Every structure is written in structure tokens, then in C-alpha cells.
């Protein structure tokens, strides 16, 4: 298979930091990812293409919530369903951990990401004004994990 999902390991951190630079105006560094690897509440998954990370997603387990930290896909590998596949994997983890909600923050101007989340059933629950660099609003979005389960059962 072309793409493979894997658990984040230390040898992937420098590639992830490079991926961040391609995807975000304020990228996470290798040191920040190392901190995530050492954080027992953090869960990360990476998608490898020919052994190299081309997409990743992270989440913090906080009480009965999964707080999504980041989702990023290399520009050459977008619109192939990789982000969707990662989010589905995290919904499965959330069900396994018996979480009630997945939560996230997204820049109000990040239409690709907002479309992605809405296509998976996330809904807006709030707004933080001027949250990013003091000038761009953040939308707060949730997905009810149990609702997702009911939907999946109805469709199966």
C-alpha cells in the first residue's frame, strides 16, 4: 500500500518539523514535538509515504475530551483523503477511550480545514476573537463522539 498510518516515533520528529514549516505560518519545532512524545496525555498518528511522514494529527486526552492539537498534510498529498483518514482514526481512539467529545480550534479564515471538519460532522460551538497573533478569530468546533457512534450504527 502507498500510504501507511503509524504511531509517532522519535526518528520522525525532524520530518514533522519540516512538514510544519510547509503547512503553518507559526510552525511547531522539533523540540515541541519531542515534548509531545513525552506527554502521556498526547496521542499522535503519522501517515507515511514511501517511509516518509506526509501527514500527521495529534490530540490531548483531557478528562472526557480529546482536544485536537493539529492536523497537517503535505501540500503534494492533499485532497486524497489523508486528513479524513486521520480524523476517522482519532474518532475510533475516542470511542475506545470512551470520550464524550472531540474539540478543536481553527482559524476563521482557514476554509479548507473548516470544510474538512464540517464534512465529518464537527459543528461550531464558539468563537475566540483575535486569538491568532491578536488579529484572526478562532472558531471552536466540537464533535460529539457518541453521536458519531449512533450515526455509524444507523449507517451500518
Ligand X SMILES: CC(C)(COP(=O)(O)OP(=O)(O)OC[C@H]1O[C@@H](n2cnc3c(N)ncnc32)[C@H](O)[C@@H]1OP(=O)(O)O)[C@@H](O)C(=O)NCCC(=O)NCCS
In whole angstroms, the minimum distance from the beta carbon of 49 to ligand X comes to: 12
Q: Which of 30, 65, 105, 136 is catalytic?
A: 105
Block residue for cell numbers 507515511: 48
Count CA atoms within 13 Å of residue 88 on its CB side. Answer: 9
Question: What mask, x for binding ligand X by CB under 6 A, covers residues 19 to 48?
Answer: ----xx------------------------
Asked if 105 is an active-site residue, the reply is yes
Q: Does 135 bind ligand X (CB under 6 A)?
A: no
Q: Which of 20, 44, 117, 148 is catalytic?
A: 117
Residues 59, 82, 138, 139: which binds ligand X (CB under 6 A)? 82
Q: Which residue stretches of the chain are H helix?
A: 13-23, 30-38, 82-96, 111-119, 145-155
Measuring CA to CA, how many Å separate 99 from each of 39, 59, 87, 90? 18, 12, 14, 11
Kindly list the catalytic residues: 105, 117
Amino acid at each position: 500500500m502507498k500510504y501507511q498510518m503509524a504511531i509517532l516515533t522519535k526518528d520522525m520528529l525532524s520530518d514533522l518539523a519540516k512538514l510544519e514549516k510547509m503547512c503553518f505560518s507559526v510552525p511547531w519545532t522539533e523540540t515541541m514535538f519531542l515534548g509531545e512524545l513525552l506527554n502521556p496525555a498526547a496521542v499522535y498518528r503519522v501517515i507515511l509515504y514511501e517511509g516518509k511522514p506526509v501527514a500527521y494529527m495529534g490530540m490531548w486526552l483531557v478528562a472526557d475530551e480529546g482536544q485536537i492539537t493539529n492536523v497537517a498534510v503535505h501540500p503534494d498529498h492533499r485532497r486524497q483523503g489523508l486528513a479524513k483518514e486521520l480524523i476517522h482514526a482519532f474518532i475510533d481512539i475516542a470511542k475506545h477511550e470512551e470520550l464524550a467529545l472531540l474539540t478543536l480550534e481553527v482559524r476563521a479564515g482557514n476554509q479548507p480545514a473548516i470544510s474538512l471538519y464540517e464534512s465529518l460532522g464537527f459543528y461550531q460551538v464558539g468563537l475566540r476573537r483575535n486569538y491568532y497573533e491578536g488579529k484572526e478569530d478562532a472558531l471552536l468546533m466540537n464533535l460529539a463522539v457518541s453521536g458519531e457512534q449512533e450515526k455509524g450504527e444507523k449507517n451500518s
